[in-house]
Amino acid sequence: MIKILAHLPLVIAAVAAPFTTAVGQTLTDKVLAQAEVLHDKAITWRHDIHQHPELGNQETRTAAIIAEHLRSLGMEVETGVGTTGVVGILRGEKPGAVVALRADMDALPVMEQTGLPYASRARQKYLGKEQYVMHACGHDAHVAILMATAEALASIQDELPGTVKFIFQPAEEGPSDYVFDGERLFGAHQLVKEGVLKNPDVDAIFGLHVTSAVPTGVIYYRSGPVMASSGDLHIEVTGRQTHGAQPWDGVDPILTSAQIITGLQAVVSRQTDIRSGPVIVSISTIEGGTRHNIIPDKVRMTGTIRTFGDETQSHVNQRVRDTAEHIAKAAGAEATVTIIDNYASTVNDPALTADMLPTLKRGAADLVEAPLGAGSEDFSYYAREVPGLFFFLGVTPPTDYGTAAPNHSPEFLVDDAALITGIEALSSLATDYLLQSQQ
């Protein structure tokens, strides 16, 4: 997940009274009791997966473990979904709605520096080069939580009114074998295009993400927009090479690039209405030239664009193109701008969120309304098709809150005590949703 979640003061959200019909309370109590029993098993799964991480679309070992577990529970299992994905279907003995639960499986090209006894020393190819691999974003926890959730829900199959679809997704962080080009789909976007929400048709979907920015057991949620869209920005500025002592004989792409970088900041500060959500345009790399006294032909820059909502995303993308191209033209140079929109804005369905707040509150240490996050998450593609609810689970002991290493750090840690909260949350969300759909 491409994400940023700031440390914030904890403010408890007000929630409605819990869903307490006689049947619902009994069935939910049963699944929650199973969740508690499965906590230790989930820890064992997480440690094993953490020690053997796999990059996007290479998650073969992880997928095999998941598929074997789901089959042992008597589920219908499909493998090789969107390359390495696994989908399990649990059909309750009673008719009802269809709910999906999603976990992402992939790790990151990061060399682990946690010192854990089960730390990763794995290596895989990333963009053709062998790299150390680490679960530096907690997807190992997501997999373990959903595997335990599957077992908990399978234990009440004979009383379950409806169907649960378990989606174990590859490549949320992107595939490991190519540079994004805007043509080939990956992760959730690919799975949705291939029909993962069909047959049976999903009525609602839930997902979570662990974060070190929140104390263990605390759940952060938000109704409506939650996380930003993400666009990869590539700009190539072409000038005319000349001697550094005679700049008038050429066209300087380095100076032009500097003017473009400055000009792009006006897209946010002067050309975009940011009242509906923040907008970020960042240039993160710049490369050009070979020698101190040669003005080069070309400069290449890359960056990221973060927005909320399709209309704002389209507007900002166009203003970025116009700004770069016009500044370059004024300097006698040429700018080629490529923007690849890899992640859409993640939006939680307001009605579904309101209905499920009592469920989220039930097992959480605290339930906190979160701010907008400038990070991105491809859960967005599921939530564009069916009502979705995506929330954050804190995995940092309170004593370390505010100082813990962030997600994507080589020192990122998951407090295993948080896994039980995740299992209870997903298990009860599925159960309560199916029960409420009967009414």
Indicate which CATH number applies to the domain containing 405: 3.40.630.10
Final residue of a structural domain among 307, 342, 377: 342
15 domain-assigned: no
Q: 188 and 217: one domain?
A: yes
9 domain-assigned: no
271 domain-assigned: yes
pTM of the model: 0.91
Given a contact cutoff of 8 angstroms between Cβ atoms, the answer to whether 239 and 256 are in contact is: yes
Q: 165 and 296: one domain?
A: no
Around 114, how many Cα atoms within 13 Å sit in the side-chain half-sphere? Answer: 26
Final residue of a structural domain among 327, 342, 357: 342
Tell me which residue of 3, 6, 36 sits closest to 362, measured CA to CA: 36
Given a contact cutoff of 8 angstroms between Cβ atoms, the answer to whether 279 and 312 are in contact is: yes
Tell me which residue of 155, 161, 132, 67 sits closest to 105, measured CA to CA: 67
Q: 287 and 158: one domain?
A: no
260 domain-assigned: yes
5 domain-assigned: no
Q: 255 and 282: one domain?
A: yes
| pLDDT tops 80 at residue 98 | yes
Say what the pLDDT of residue 256 is. 98
Look at the chain and report how many structural domains it folds into.
2
Final residue of a structural domain among 303, 318, 342: 342
Q: 31 and 85: one domain?
A: yes
| pLDDT tops 80 at residue 155 | yes
Q: 263 and 381: one domain?
A: no
Identify the band that residue 185 occupies on the pLDDT scale cut at 50, 70 and 90: very high
Q: Which domain holds residue 323?
A: 229-342
Query: Coil, strand, or helix at residue 60?
Result: helix
- pLDDT tens digits, residue range 382-436? 999 999 999 999 999 999 999 999 999 999 999 999 999 999 999 999 999 999 9
12 domain-assigned: no
8 domain-assigned: no
Distance CA 57, CA 53 (A): 12
| pLDDT tops 50 at residue 18 | no
CATH number for the domain that contains residue 289 = 3.30.70.360
Q: 256 and 309: one domain?
A: yes
Mean pLDDT taken over the chain: 93
Identify the band that residue 276 occupies on the pLDDT scale cut at 50, 70 and 90: confident
Q: 198 and 212: one domain?
A: yes
Tell me which residue of 87, 206, 188, 212 sits closest to 138, measured CA to CA: 212
Say what the pLDDT of residue 178 is. 73
Distance CA 379, CA 367 (A): 21
Q: 148 and 53: one domain?
A: yes
Q: 313 and 430: one domain?
A: no
Q: 255 and 126: one domain?
A: no
Say what the pLDDT of residue 5 is. 56
Q: 145 and 294: one domain?
A: no
16 domain-assigned: no
Name the one residue in this structure whose structure tokens are 């993308």: 317
